[in-house]
Amino acid sequence: MTLIAWVKSFFSWLWNNRLRLLLSMISAVIFAVLIFPFNDLSDLLSSQISAATRNSVYVQFERLSLSFFPQLGAQAEQVHIESLFFPGIKVEEVTVTPSLGAALSQKPYGHVTAKGLFRGDVDARMGSGGQSERGTELQKLEITAQRLSLQDLRQLANLPALIKGRLDLETAGLIDMTLAEQPDLALNIKIQQFEMPSTNLALGHMGELTLPEIKLSSLELKGRLSAGRLLIENIRVGGQPADDLQGTIKGTLGLNLRNAGGTPVPEFGAYSFDVDLQPSANFRERAKFFLEFLTAYQQNGRIRMKLSGTHFGPAPSMAPLR
């Protein structure tokens, strides 16, 4: 049989058996979508994630479903994440849509959405970012977050102050997943209805100073994380007459991300902040003692000072802002 005759015979067989083949394909899809016990994969996936992170991260979910149209993807509901490095995290729904290139190259590229994460929503996209000058493989990262609870984030970061509010975030740039090189990311953060109760500030050998309650309608930060340093281009404090403080903060902060068993851990270094704030009359009344401590750093009723230090913990160096 010649090649042409064989091809004709093959296509003839396909045509004669088209209904049988179609029924087989439909049965396979029904089995994959409706019959296959995806929910039983929870333990398997949890063990795989635990092994990949050297038993530092454990993930569990109640329901898993797959989608094939318009894109291949997976959705998990009631996701619980436990780790050695942070408190437990709960997410109402996580949807993962890998890119075709990711499926072929086994790279973590694609689109992830998380609903109910820190009581808000997060949308993240990752793709190839080329290579750095040192030849390190980079990934392009874009993250948008809306209405995240500061109270929940505070527990994750183990911050001493009981802050409240809602956080929106936009960040985009290049990262190295292994953190052999530090990220290069643009940051835009907005916090609404910020509240911090009265807090004691440690001032080293000078003891403690009580900072009164602070309420602000908004805080907006614009900056860039690059080469292990956070450049704070501007933090706009307040914006409404009823805000306790209004003004700006600018400066730099050493911030390295360290790879701890697959989990990024921040390490803070030296800092320098230029503070220019206008207290409200109400705040002045409640913060008399605190503001008296800052008398040397006030100009025409405004707090204008430079704060700096080698690391957080000891009392910072303070000087009037010129």
Residue 32 pLDDT > 60: no
For CA atoms 101, 104, 108, 110, give the dihedral sign: positive
Alpha carbons within 13 A on the beta-carbon side of 8:
5
Residue 73 pLDDT > 80: no
Beta strands in the chain (DSSP E): 57-60, 63-67, 73-83, 89-98, 110-117, 120-131, 137-149, 164-175, 184-196, 199-202, 208-211, 214-226, 229-237, 245-260, 263-279, 298-299, 302-309, 317-320
Q: For residues 112 and 120, give the distance between their C-alpha atoms in angstroms, rounded to a whole number.
A: 14
Lowest mean pLDDT among 101-110, 176-185, 247-256, 310-319: 101-110
Residue-wise pLDDT tens digits, 242-272: 999 999 999 999 999 998 876 788 899 999 9
252 occurs within a structural domain:
yes
301 occurs within a structural domain:
yes
116 occurs within a structural domain:
no
Residue-wise pLDDT tens digits, 195-244: 999 887 766 555 677 788 999 999 999 999 999 999 999 999 998 999 99
pTM of the model: 0.79
Token pair for 204: 């080293």
Closest CA to 129 of 78, 59, 177, 171: 177
- Which pLDDT score, from 0 to 100, does residue 44 have? 61
Instruction: Provide mean pLDDT across the span 126-134.
Output: 89
Q: For residues 263 and 89, give the distance between their C-alpha atoms in angstroms, rounded to a whole number.
A: 14
Residue 30, domain extent: 1-36
As to burial, measured by CB atoms within 10 angstroms (0-12 exposed, 13-18 middle, 19+ buried), residue 171 is: buried
Q: Are 198 and 211 in contact (CB under 8 A)?
A: yes
Contacting residues for 194 by C-beta, under 8 A, at least 6 apart: 150, 163, 164, 165, 214, 215, 216, 217, 218, 219
Q: Do 29 and 48 belong together in one domain?
A: no
- Which pLDDT score, from 0 to 100, does residue 161 have? 78
Instruction: Provide mean pLDDT across the span 170-182.
Output: 93
DSSP state of 11: H
Q: Do 28 and 47 belong together in one domain?
A: no
Residue 14 pLDDT > 70: no
Residue 183 pLDDT > 90: yes
Residue-wise pLDDT tens digits, 144-167: 999 999 999 888 777 777 899 999
Q: For residues 212 and 1, give the distance between their C-alpha atoms in angstroms, rounded to a whole number.
A: 93
Q: Do 141 and 204 belong together in one domain?
A: yes
Q: Do 268 and 169 belong together in one domain?
A: yes
Q: For residues 268 and 2, give the distance between their C-alpha atoms in angstroms, rounded to a whole number.
A: 73
Lowest mean pLDDT among 38-47, 259-268, 280-289: 38-47
Q: Residue 28 in 3-state DSSP?
A: helix
- Which pLDDT score, from 0 to 100, does residue 260 have? 80
Give exposure, 102-121, as e/b (b: 16+ Cβ within 10 Å).
beeeebebbbbbbebbbebb
User: Of the ranges 5-9, 10-14, 56-60, 90-94, which is most confident?
Assistant: 90-94
Note the residue count of the chain.
322
Instruction: Provide mean pLDDT across the span 23-32.
Output: 54
63 occurs within a structural domain:
yes
Q: Do 6 and 60 belong together in one domain?
A: no
Q: How far is CA 270 from the centre of its chain?
A: 23
Per-residue pLDDT band for 43 (boundaries 50, 70, 90) equals low
Q: Following DSSP, what letter does each residue of 74-126 receive, concatenated?
A: EEEEEEEEEESSS--EEEEEEEEEE-HHHHHHT---EEEEEEEETTEEEEEEE
User: Of the ranges 75-89, 194-208, 240-254, 290-304, which is most confident?
Assistant: 240-254
The four Cα atoms 117, 142, 264, 196 give a dihedral, to 10 degrees, of: -50
Q: Do 60 and 169 belong together in one domain?
A: no
- Which pLDDT score, from 0 to 100, does residue 115 have? 95
124 occurs within a structural domain:
no
Q: How many domains does the chain have?
A: 3
Q: Do 259 and 238 belong together in one domain?
A: yes
